[in-house]
Amino acid sequence: MTLAPKLRRGRKCLPRSVPPATLAALVLRLRAERDWSVRDLSSASGIDYGFVASIERGYKPASLNAAARLATALGADAAEFVRLVLQERLDAAGVRLRVAVHAGDETVWSAEREAWESDCRTLGEPFAEGKL
């Protein structure tokens, strides 16, 4: 079941209770909550207006750097923005994995390492060597 976005002052905006599945949806929601224009976000993040608009519409994928800059400008968690960018890249490549980002938490990484290495063996050498 998909939820139709509600309108807020003429803009599409996801309800806060619905977690965004894409970076575009998250940027749109946070920008609308602050009542910022795309130009306001562009100025605050230092990213070109056209590129911000393309990211928000889902026309262009964001780089990890752009995602972190947008998160900082919006006062949001950069880890979630980075996770969404990585997840979108995997989905576009047809790789059926779910991304989890844990900033500075080595214990989580070591606990999940065995499962990750098993996935790498299953997917083959290009993935295991980080060439994806």
17 and 66 inside one domain: yes
Contact present, 74 and 34 (Cβ < 8 Å):
yes
Q: Strand (E) positions, the chain? A: 6-8, 11-13
Question: How many folded domains does the chain comprise?
Answer: 2
| In-domain check, residue 80 | yes
Q: Kindly write down the DSSP assignment for every residue of 106-123, as one continuous string.
A: HHHHHHHHHHHHHHHHHH
Angle at 92 between CA 90 and CA 96, to 5 degrees: 45
pTM of the model: 0.65
Domain range for residue 123? 102-132
Please report the pLDDT score of residue 110 as a whole number.
Answer: 43
Segment-wise mean pLDDT, segments of 10 residues, the chain, 132 residues: 43 50 90 95 96 93 93 92 90 85 55 54 52 47
| In-domain check, residue 1 | no
88 and 30 inside one domain: yes
CATH code of 35's domain? 1.10.260.40
18 and 71 inside one domain: yes
91 and 106 inside one domain: no
What count of other Cβ atoms lies within 10 Å of the Cβ of residue 128?
Answer: 15
Round to whole Å and give the CA distance between 28 and 11.
9
Round to whole Å and give the CA distance between 90 and 97.
7
